[in-house]
Structure 1
Amino acid sequence: MATVAVIGETVRVTGFRLAGVVVLPADTPDAARAAWTCLGDDVAVVILTPKAAEAVGGQATARLTVVMPP
């Protein structure tokens, strides 16, 4: 079964846990890149905060991604 993950600042992503989303807090660009590389093959959709999207850069095209509004 495919899952959904969210990467970004802790205060913006924690609430997604209530919806069953895999939450990967990343408060720095390095943490966002590390979280991206740790995504499992079962993750079909990744939600990124704007800062995480900037940190991940071109890697974000490898999966279906959604960027939150600022």
Structure 2
Amino acid sequence: MGHIAAIGEPLRILGLASAGVLLRPAEGPDAARDAWRDLPPDVDLVLLTPDAAGALGPEAVDGQEPLVAVMPP
């Protein structure tokens, strides 16, 4: 079984650590793109904050792998 990661503003994703989610804090578009690019290969699900999803663009959200979900605003 793969892992779950979260990319986005630290305050929005911090609480997910208690569920074992791999946190990739990203303040700003460049940091979000860097976090996406540096995800380990065993991540199967990525949770994105709306700002991180906007920085990554629709191709990240619409891709096949990993599965991506965008958090509500």
2:60 is matched with which residue?
Answer: 59
Q: Give the 4+ runs in structure 1 shifted more than 3 A.
A: none
Runs of at least 5 residues in structure 1 that lack an aligned partner in the other structure: none
Counterpart of 1:47 in structure 2: which amino acid?
L
Q: TM-score, normalised by structure 1?
A: 0.94
Q: TM-score, normalised by structure 2?
A: 0.90
User: Percent identity between the aligned chains?
Assistant: 50
Runs of at least 5 residues in structure 2 that lack an aligned partner in the other structure: none
2:42 is matched with which residue?
Answer: 42
RMSD over equivalenced CA pairs, Å? 0.9
Q: Distance in 2 between matches of 1:3 and 1:68?
A: 17
Question: How many corresponding residue pairs?
Answer: 70
Higher normalized helix content (fraction of residues) = 1
1:27 is matched with which residue?
Answer: 27
